[in-house]
Amino acid sequence: MIIDLHVHHCLSAEPRTDFAAMERLKRVAKAVGISHVCLLGNVFRYGIRASREGIRKINDSTIALVRRDPGFVSGFCFINPTLPRAVIREEVQRCVRAGLSGVKLEIDLNARDRRMRHLMEAAADLDVPVLHHAWYKSHEKYPHESDPSDIADLARRFPACRIIMAHVVAAGVRGVLDVAECKNVMVDTSGSQPVAGMVEYAVRMLGADRVVFGSDVCGRDFSCQLGKVLGAELKASDRRKVLYDNARKVLKLEGGKR
Amino acid sequence: MIIDVNASLGNWPFQRFALRTAGQLDRHFAGLGIDQAWVSSADAILCPDIDACDEELAKHLRTYPRLRMVPTINPVLANWAKSLDKWAGRGVHAVKVYPNYHQYSLSSPMMCEVARQVASRRMVLQVQMRVEDERGMYAPLRISGVSVEDVAKLAQNVPEAAIIALCPYYREAVQLAAKAPKVMVDLSFIEACDTVKTLLRDVPAGRVVFGSHTPFLCTRAELMKIEAAKVTQRELRRIREANVRSLFSLSVDTK
């Protein structure tokens, strides 16, 4: 059993009707043994700092896909944290009631920004994790993009909130060290090419309980990203935590299914 | 059979490799079913004395027939022709160039001369388009990737050269297929959902070879791209080995 906690459904202009694309994605995932995926939304569908309406459409699409195939699909709601507090709270509540399991944040607002408070408080109140993009870039950095030190700052400000820092391979050694003392932070294994040694390093420094498999499909490949974990020098019990146990707890799945 | 055209041995200041000896590399490839790996010196990328790095590499690889030596040639160095002669005399089948690390253009007259001499010895020319994802490079040492246009110009200037472009991104592999019909690309930096099947819609199977970029990247992850590929056995065979073999007999149809 393998759960992929970081999947984007890059759907067409009419996302609610694009179930065929999801079926194709499912076939590709199943072919390499992935039994469950967590959809994070088509996050760039309406650009950076998408409007309330755009966010709602993205989340409606995720909700529709989760409801259609709950045995294979879980989902997080996507939020633009620069939206007004009431809008954020209402949308997170709506999505959680509809069956989504967490919140995904991208590059709309840097994690150090004070405005993050509204979203983080809503997530803590609803007891759902926040999966946040992070990347150490020396090149092509987006204006509000967060790096792992920003995530560490966020985690310290909101210790009651569970945070999953995306892209540990792109965070690198420095990024892992940034969040090592923040016990409310897990990392996912996605990010960049399958750089050798990073999964092992994350497990060594954070413990296997704090590392979870994520592929970042559809920009990446299930097979290659999974191979990064299968090819890592890990104890079998640690590999199982990374590939399955940790995500199952995050998604509150029973026996790998909703 | 699987031939990996993109492997290295040595040190790299920005990554601590787990595979640090030829024996470790050989056992690693054997365990993953890789029958032949083309290995260059990682030290030769930044060290000015490339020949010393390559001599050391040759010494390490000597007892491992699975690991095939690929020396580095830097046309900026005055001794490049002598080095090429020496390695050709020792029976190497390919050489590698790092134009952006060694700071010359692929369309420069000296590089064209290297390509001509490599081709005249029936050797393969490997062009390393990048070593790392540019976004995560150590900031004071930011090296841009080699451009598709430069690779295409080299292929145009020296049509007899058998060229493998290493570590292109997906979009670059597609552009190369259009602009440089004879140039082959390795899979190491190419990734998309269902990588190989998707790629073969845009790039002919006869133009793709397996390269893992070990030890920079995780070999198993790269292998899984071809293990999971839902393409024909014939296409897979081309990627795993047949295309590489065809480079030594350029009359083979690569479509």
How many domains would you assign to chain B? 1
Instruction: Give A233's contacts in chain B (Cβ within 8 Å).
Output: 18
Identify the pLDDT of residue B251.
33
Q: Has residue B253 been placed in a domain?
A: no
Strand, helix or coil for residue A163: strand
Chain A hits for B143, CB-CB cut-off 8 Å, are none
Q: Is A224 on the interface with B (CB under 8 A)?
A: yes
Could you give phi then psi for residue A212, rounded to 5 degrees? -135, 145
In this complex, do B191 and A220 lie within 8 Å of one another by their Cβ atoms? yes
- CB-neighbour burial class of residue A112 (10 A; exposed 0-12, middle 13-18, buried 19+): middle
Longest dimension (CA), chain B: 48
What CATH number corresponds to the domain at position B62? 3.20.20.140
CA distance B21 to B198: 35
Interchain contact B78–A (C-beta under 8 A): no
Residue B252 resides in a domain: no
Q: What is the pLDDT of residues A185-218, one digit of tens each?
A: 999 999 999 999 999 999 999 999 999 999 999 8
- Give the start-end residues of each E strand in chain A: 3-7, 36-39, 73-78, 102-105, 130-132, 163-165, 185-188, 211-212
Token digits of residue B251: 């009359």
Measure the CA–CA gap between B247 and A146, rounded to whole angstroms: 45
Domain range for residue B144? 3-247
- pLDDT > 90 in chain B, percent: 95
Enter the pTM of the model.
0.95
Instruction: Look at residue B255 in the predicted model and tell me its pLDDT.
Output: 33
Q: How many residues does chain B have?
A: 255
Would residue B255 count as lying in a domain? Answer: no
Asked if B217 contacts A194 with a C-beta cutoff of 8 angstroms, the reply is: yes
Which segments of chain A have a pLDDT < 50?
none
Backbone angles phi, psi at A101, to 5 degrees: -110, 0
A-chain CB neighbours of B142 within 8 Å are 138-139
Cα–Cα distances in angstroms (integers) from residue A25 to residues A108, A212, B169, in the given order? 27, 20, 22
A-contacting residues in B 1-40 (Cβ below 8 Å): 15-19
pLDDT at B236: 97
Q: What is the pLDDT of residues B153-166, one digit of tens each?
A: 999 999 999 999 99
- Chain B CB contacts of A135 under 8 Å are 135-136
Q: Which domains does chain A possess?
A: 3-251 (3.20.20.140)
Q: Are B185 and B207 in contact (CB under 8 A)?
A: yes
Q: A110 by DSSP, 3-state: which? A: coil
CB-based contact (8 Å) between A25 and chain B? yes
Tokens of A68: 């259609």
Pairing of strands A211-212, A36-39: unpaired
Give the mean model confidence (pLDDT) for residues B127-135: 96
The three state secondary structure string of chain B is CCEEEEEEECCECCECCCCCCHHHHHHHHHHCCCCEEEEEECHHHCCCCHHHHHHHHHHHHCCCCCEEECCECCCCCCCHHHHHHHHHHCCCCEEEECHHHHCCCCCCHHHHHHHHHHHHCCCEEEEECCCCCHHHCCHHHCCCCCCHHHHHHHHHHCCCCEEEEECCCHHHHHHHHHHCCCCEEECCCCCCCCHHHHHHHHCCHHHEECCCCECCECHHHHHHHHHCCCCCHHHHHHHHHHHHHHHCCCCCCCC
Per-residue pLDDT, A16: 54
**Within-domain flag for B184:** yes
| Distance between CA atoms of residues A193 and A169, nearest Å | 8
Task: Give, in degrees to the nearest 5, the angle at Cα B20 between B38 and B15.
Answer: 95
Q: Which residue does chain B place closest to A27, by CA atoms?
A: B194
Q: Note the pLDDT tens digit of each residue in B84-126.
A: 999 999 999 999 999 999 999 999 999 999 999 999 999 999 9
Contacts of B16 in chain A (CB under 8 A): 197
List the beta strands (DSSP E) in A2-140.
3-7, 36-39, 73-78, 102-105, 130-132
**Mean per-residue pLDDT over chain B, rounded:** 95
Contact B213, B167 (CB under 8 A): yes
Distance from the A174 Cα atom to the nearest Cα atom in chain B, whole angstroms = 12
The per-residue pLDDT for B254 is: 33
Burial of B140 (0-12, 13-18, 19+ CB in 10 A): exposed
Q: Return the structure tokens found at A1.
A: 């059993």
Quick: pLDDT tens for B190-243: 999 999 999 999 999 999 999 999 999 999 999 999 999 999 999 999 999 999
A44: helix, strand or coil: coil
> Could you report the predicted ipTM of this complex, rounded to two decimals?
0.94
